[in-house]
Amino acid sequence: MIPPETEIIERTQETMEEMYVNMGPQHPSTHGVLRLMLRLDGEVVTEVTTYIGYLHRCHEKIGENRTYIQIIPYTDRLDYLASMYNNFGYVLAVERLMGLQVPERAEYMRVILAELQRIASHLIWMGTFGLDLGNFTIFMYCFREREKILDLFESVSGQRLNYAFYRIGGMPMDLPQTFLTDCKAFLEWFKPRLPEYDAVMTDNVIFQKRVQGLGKLDQKIAIDYAISGPMLRGSGMKWDLRRNDPYSIYDRFEFDIPVGTAGDVWDRYMVRRLEMAESVKIVEQALRDLPPGEIMGKVPKKLKPPVGDIYSRVESPRGELGFYIVSDGSEKPYRYKVRSPAFVNLSVLPEIGPGHLIADMVAILGSIDIVLGEVDR
Amino acid sequence: MGLMTPDEVVQVIRSEFGEAVKASEVKGVETRMNVDRAKSYEILSRLKEMGFEYLNCLSAVDWIASGELEAVYNLSSLKEPTKALIRVRAPREDPVIRSVVALWSTADWHEREAYDLMGIRFDGHPDLRRILTSEDWVGHPLRKDYKDERLVPYEPF
């Protein structure tokens, strides 16, 4: 008979010596080039050290040498699973710095695309998280739906991954004629898919037992580490910048903010799972209210923001995406800094990782939802 | 108890720290202060007590014209929309600013990044190593006078 887990852990602690295991940077479950150094006591992780920077591309230095408009395509490469949202955050920061007004229709377009992007990003997360835990079916399901969102984005911008579609002061071109019907058809098709994920993943008892109580993140620690996004909400904090520090036109939509209670992997999973349904609601409302009209505001040919600085933040699928821009009055930023949510969220791993088995580390890391392009910049 | 208004925040900090606050400004819900580095830790600690429990971001800026490096702290509260932006400057020859890791653990990686890319040394940081570049990297790439033969300056057409 197999003894209970705690007993196994105790026994291994008695007989095994400490050892170090290097996880990554080529490990498939680290979602990119993240390297973790694990100190092990048998199967149990006692210490986690994180090494990042393998994907550092001097994003901020490049930004200082480009004009404000030229930076937009670079922001796509930060969080490449939510490119629309990076564009959104960046152009919003510059618009706030310059005090530019954005036409109504452009605002609605921004929200529609951004929320579709949130769904796509959460789908990728859900699929790869399932893959990490050995659930291959959900991976195929999620990628099938994401493909359809990418088709929509392709019809809008011509690109499938790095769109560079937002402009400072508005949007570069209007939605194609077929977009409204296509998008509505997608939403109608997508809504019944969510219960399918529940059948494959959420209601699966093996999955539930696997992730419940894993990687608990206390709310106090979460605030201390400035955790944001689904991770913070999973720890029971009802905090969403779309609601608490509204930007663009998010204050016009009705949507719920799902929160967890225990702050474990399961709660983070549920928050993201429920957020997809909320994003659907927002897109539906935005499609309903989408006004006709201009899509580009009055913007000077040469963008020269006034001398000053601004810290502007948005709620990206991963959390608080902030841009700190210092302008010296020229057409290039004097300093351009990205506060990426994944970078900050990952920093809490040494706090929540220890005490778990190596296989559970994979689940905990997956639940943080990192994109290394954004962590390393 | 509600958080103070930006004007009250400035008033309290000014009355308690006097000369250490070099300049202050209120911009909407945001309090902006330039503070002396000798008192930066105490002021930030006081702000945390006042309810700014969330350190959003810590950036470093190179003000090469005046020969200074600057650390910028963006603070906010999770209860109210009040924000604060605190600037601390240090001369380039001696770029030492006291670490705030003891106040906010999130500052750990932010300070390591500022040290790595801008060369600000944070006094009291538990583990001030490079974070984004490799361990044997020479120099601090985000400084305005950083030179590297692989760095090709951008020239418009």
Range of weakest confidence among A65-74, A116-125, A276-285, B5-14: B5-14
Q: Which of A239, A324, A347 is nearest residue B106 as measured by Cβ atoms?
A: A347
Tokens (6 digits) for A135? 């659930």
- The rounded distance, in Å, linking the Cα atoms of A278 and A103 is 25
Distances (CA, A) of A100 to A103, A204, A241, B83: 10, 49, 21, 22
- The rounded distance, in Å, linking the Cα atoms of A70 and B156 is 11
Report residue B81's pLDDT band, with 50, 70 and 90 as the boundaries: confident
Q: Does the pLDDT at position B1 exceed 50?
A: no
Amino acid at A372: L
Q: State in Å, rounded, how far the first CA of chain A is from the last one.
A: 50
Q: Which of B57, B108, B156 is nearest residue A339 as measured by Cβ atoms?
A: B57
pLDDT digits (tens, 9 = 90+) for A208-232: 888 888 888 888 899 999 999 899 9
Q: Does the pLDDT at position A2 exceed 70?
A: no
Which residues in A lie closer than 8 A to residue B55 (C-beta atoms)? 226
- The rounded distance, in Å, linking the Cα atoms of B119 and B114 is 6
Higher pLDDT, A141 or A24: A141
Amino acid at A245: D
Mean local confidence (pLDDT), A19-32: 77
Q: Which of A311, A339, A351 is nearest residue B85 as measured by Cβ atoms?
A: A311
Question: Among all chains, which residue has been given the structure tokens 């220890």?
Answer: A354
Q: Please give the model's pTM, rounded to 2 decimal places.
A: 0.87
Task: State how beta strands A319-327 and A333-339 pair.
Answer: antiparallel
Q: Which residue of A has its CA nearest to B80?
A: A244
pLDDT digits (tens, 9 = 90+) for A142-191: 999 999 999 999 999 888 888 888 988 888 888 898 899 999 999 999 99
Of the candidates B120, B113, B60, B115, the one whose C-alpha atom is nearest the C-alpha of residue B91 is B120
| Global ipTM | 0.88
Size of chain B in residues: 157
Are residues B74 and A61, on separate chains, in Cβ contact within 8 Å?
no
CATH architecture for the domain at B6-93: 2-Layer Sandwich (3.30)
Q: Which residue of A has its CA nearest to B64?
A: A334
Amino acid at A346: L
Which residues in A lie closer than 8 A to residue B115 (C-beta atoms)? none
Are residues B141 and A61, on separate chains, in Cβ contact within 8 Å?
yes
Mean local confidence (pLDDT), B88-110: 90
The H-assigned helical ranges of B40-127 are 40-49, 107-118
Phi, psi of A10 (to 5 degrees): -60, -45
At residue B154, the pLDDT reads 67
Phi, psi of A30 (to 5 degrees): -90, 10
The answer to whether B81 faces chain A, any CB pair under 8 Å, is yes
* Class of residue B121 by CB neighbours under 10 A (exposed 0-12, middle 13-18, buried 19+): middle
Which residues lie across from B24 on neighbouring strands? B33
**Residue B88 distance to chain A (closest CA, Å):** 15
Q: Does the pLDDT at position A41 exceed 70?
A: yes
Are residues B54 and A223, on separate chains, in Cβ contact within 8 Å?
yes
At residue B36, the pLDDT reads 87
pLDDT digits (tens, 9 = 90+) for A299-343: 888 888 888 889 999 999 998 999 999 998 888 899 999 999 999
Q: Does the pLDDT at position A92 exceed 80?
A: yes
Largest CA distance in chain A: 75
pLDDT digits (tens, 9 = 90+) for A227-257: 998 999 988 888 888 888 888 888 888 889 9
For residue A17, count other CB atoms closer than 10 A to its CB. 7
pLDDT digits (tens, 9 = 90+) for A59-89: 888 888 888 888 999 998 888 888 999 999 9
Is the peptide bond prior to A230 cis by the omega test (within 30 degrees of 0)? no
Q: Does the pLDDT at position A12 exceed 80?
A: no
The answer to whether B23 faces chain A, any CB pair under 8 Å, is no
Question: Among all chains, which residue has been given the structure tokens 């819900």?
Answer: B29
Q: Which of A52, A344, A377 is nearest residue B106 as measured by Cβ atoms?
A: A344
Are residues B57 and A337, on separate chains, in Cβ contact within 8 Å?
yes
Contact A59, A82 (CB under 8 A): no
Distances (CA, A) of A320 to A19, A52, A231, A327: 36, 20, 11, 22
Of the candidates B85, B55, B84, B89, the one whose C-alpha atom is nearest the C-alpha of residue B71 is B89
For residue A164, count other CB atoms closer than 10 A to its CB. 19
B contact residues 109-128, partner A, Cβ 8 Å cutoff: 109-110, 117
Indicate the SS3 state at residue B40: helix
* Class of residue A294 by CB neighbours under 10 A (exposed 0-12, middle 13-18, buried 19+): middle
